[in-house]
Amino acid sequence: MTAERRVMLAELEAAAHRVYQVMAPTPQYAWPLLAERTGAEVWVKHENHGPVGAFKLRGGIVYMERLRESVPDVAGVIAATRGNHGQSVAFAAARAGLPAVIVVPEGNNPEKNAAMRALGAELIEQGEDFQEARELALRLAGERGLHMVPSFHPWLVWGVASAALEFLRAVPSLDTVYVPIGLGSGICAMIAARDALGLSTRIVGVVAEGAPAYADSFWAGRPMSTPTVHTLADGLACRVPDPTAVDVIIGGADRVVTVSDDAILAAMRYYLSDTHNLAEGAGAAPLAALLAERTEMAGRKVGLVLSGGNADADLIRQALKPGGL
């Protein structure tokens, strides 16, 4: 093992130790019905089984502890989110004894909003999309003297990498892993873990057709924003990519693919019928991508990151409409 790999693995292991003081590792299972449906051996990493129903909490735990250590007198935190990042920040802030303000765009998932309030956060609904909510959060951070928790940061990536280490150690022979991309912490964590473990697993990012910023950025070789986003998968609804994340993805991912909202809804339905697990839009997107590429992936051992299960009732009903289970 090279010195660089040793250093990276030690950093990721230290972050994982912090995570495991709060939550247990999540499971990964091979599902026979998904194998029949896709033609591949399919392993699913169940981040929907975590304390807030999504992978983001891992990063929030590490971020808040590192923040407390580096800025002991921090007055409180603020973040912009479509839901899972906000739940992570609210959970971790409460554990650290810090007040949390969460800004979400208008019309945000009402059940995620309720969950953030239940975790003790002050919730502000304003803006047409995540980017406008983020701009308001930045302004309020200055006005109120709060620390702005970004949606992408190395501390978040290192925490999330605990899930990637679990997955790749449990199933080290994976040919390919499909990972949804929101702001990029999940896929960057998978790349970091893969490289630290010295594996050759190919990593594929997945975005929605109506939110193609990271796909456009990957293929252009530089950050590419979009003027709007239109997708039911709120965890994928990014129109301004993080430049650092783009660099990591360009350097470490095999490709970034796009999937339609209809394909995401179908994948949500298949998760329910084939595994009896609820996947939110972003969590179902990797399965949608594998189904789109099933001819190329037939016979291979494939990993899917089911990043979260926080779908609201309206979205679940929509997913079940095209013919039910």
Rounded distance between C-alpha atoms, residue 157 and residue 154, angstroms: 5
At residue 110, the pLDDT reads 87
Instruction: Write out the H or E segment, with its range, that includes residue 30.
Output: strand 28-30
> What's the CA gap between 2 and 16, in Å, rounded?
21
Cβ atoms of 63 and 159 closer than 8 Å: yes
Is this prediction's pTM over 0.85?
yes
- CA separation for the pair 143, 302 (Å, rounded): 47
Report the pLDDT value the prediction gives residue 206, as an integer from 0 to 100: 98
Residues 90, 119 contacting (CB under 8 angstroms): yes
Place of tokens 């609820």: 278
Angle formed at CA 209 by CA 203 and CA 214, multiple of 5 degrees: 50
Q: Tell me the pLDDT of the chain (325 aa) as tens digits.
A: 788 899 899 999 999 999 999 999 999 999 999 999 999 999 999 999 999 999 999 999 999 999 999 999 999 999 999 879 999 999 999 999 999 999 999 988 888 899 999 999 999 999 988 889 999 999 999 999 999 999 999 999 999 999 999 999 999 999 999 999 999 999 999 999 999 999 999 999 999 999 999 999 999 999 999 999 999 999 999 999 999 999 999 999 999 999 999 999 999 999 999 999 999 999 999 999 999 999 999 999 999 999 999 998 999 999 998 654 4
Contact 80, 306 (CB under 8 A): no
pLDDT at 82: 84
What pLDDT is attached to residue 174? 98
CB 301 within 8 A of CB 177: no
User: Reading across the β-sheet that carries 100-104, which strands appear in turn?
Assistant: 122-125, 100-104, 77-80, 147-148
DSSP structural state of residue 277: -
Q: What's the confidence (pLDDT) of residue 278?
A: 97
Task: Quote the DSSP letter at residue 82.
Answer: S
pLDDT at position 98 = 96
In contact, 94 and 64? CB cutoff 8 Å: no
What token pair was written down for 47?
A: 């981040």
Q: Cα–Cα distances in Å, from 169 out to 154, 164, 256, 288?
A: 22, 8, 24, 25
pLDDT for residue 3: 86
